[in-house]
Homo-oligomer: A and B are copies of this chain.
């Protein structure tokens, strides 16, 4: 654990000189090339690595951004994380991940804690009840960018897929294929992205002159176990008997597939299937499940760069919103 002081002592210069050189400020400080070279050499020999904690305390910067998610095992998260980490690295940032699900009861939650660690900025996939945390960050002037959703009452930058357009595209596809009795499986989470999807489903039906009835909607509980959700969907399909079903999220699609399997229905002969948000297995699973793919990489990149803008804009704080289109991937389930 070599410190600047040690290097300085070893050479017989002051710590500040060493600091200047090691931070590439030798030019503006007009430190002689000889000195600079010597300092760099000794630093290398001693294996000097800056103490980030001291740096952070002194400067208030940490060169760390946080990626906060509901649960770290989601597929959306996995895909996102990779890209964000890449981008971050290119600009010399580290990203640390936090999940909110573990500490609901505690008053000391991830966001507060990471704030205490002087994290420079936050990328957040918001979930129900997080308004206050977001507001907290906003109040403390921490740069924040939301992904996948947002809170209508809380002015933030965000980037998300165009849910409405995506679902509409999917429903249209089903209708064009000749399906009339189309069901929609969503969850009871009270977030705009889900509301948008539900709304898009209903309105597209109406737009295409198909009757919309409440029975066509299956609202599963978000907090249930997988098995429970599967059972809910199973019952729903058994009683409603739709010709086609659209799942509003990929985990719902997975449960739905299980339900359909349990009911011994054939896809697409017995029931057609389409799912919002693609998954690897949708390609693998026979006969191949049609889906709406979110442009996850683009979402990640856009979000990261928005965050960087917020972090470095000394001027004003214009929040920006970005919406990207989903792509329909037609397989044999529809």
Using CB atoms and an 8 Å cutoff, list the residues of chain A in contact with chain B.
1, 49-54, 56-57, 62, 64, 71-73, 78-79, 81-82, 85-86, 89, 94, 96-99, 102-103, 106, 110, 112-113, 115-118, 140, 254, 257-258, 261, 280-281, 283-286
- A54–B102 CA distance with the chains assembled, in angstroms: 26
The residue among A89, A97, A286 with the most chain B CB atoms within 10 A of its own CB is A97
Q: A82 is contacted by which of B57, B73, B89, B261 (Cβ under 8 Å)?
A: B73
Residues of B with C-beta under 8 A to A258:
283-284
Interface contact B254-A284, CB-CB below 8 Å: yes
Asked, given contacts A49-B112, A72-B78, A81-B72, whether A97 binds B94 with beta carbons under 8 Å apart, the answer is: no
Interface centre among A50, A96, A110 (most CB of B within 10 A): A96
List B contacts of A54 (CB < 8 A): 57
The residue that A56 contacts in the complex, of B53, B71, B73, B81, with Cβ under 8 A, is B53
SS class, residues of chain A in contact with chain B: helix
Cα A52 to Cα B96 in complex, Å, equals 16
**Copies of this chain, whole number:** 2
Please tell me if the beta carbons of A261 and B281 are within 8 angstroms of each other in the complex.
no
Complex contacts, A57 vs chain B, CB 8 Å: 51, 53-54, 57
Tell me, rounded to whole Å, the shortest Cβ–Cβ distance linking A119 to chain B. 10
Q: Separation in Å of the A106 CB from the closest CB of chain B?
A: 8
Contacts of A52 in B (CB 8 A): 113, 116-118
In the assembled complex, the Cα of A54 lies from the Cα of B53 at a distance in Å of: 8
A-B contact pairs, 29 of them (CB 8 A): A1-B140, A49-B115, A52-B113, A52-B117, A53-B53, A53-B56, A53-B62, A53-B118, A57-B57, A64-B117, A72-B81, A73-B79, A81-B99, A82-B102, A85-B99, A85-B102, A94-B98, A94-B110, A96-B96, A96-B97, A97-B97, A254-B280, A254-B281, A257-B284, A261-B284, A261-B286, A281-B284, A284-B285, A286-B286
The 9 closest A-B pairs by CB, nearest first: A73-B78, A96-B96, A52-B116, A97-B97, A53-B57, A72-B81, A52-B117, A53-B56, A85-B102
Partner pick for A116 among B49, B72, B78, B85, CB 8 A cutoff: B49
A201 CB, nearest partner CB in chain B, Å: 25
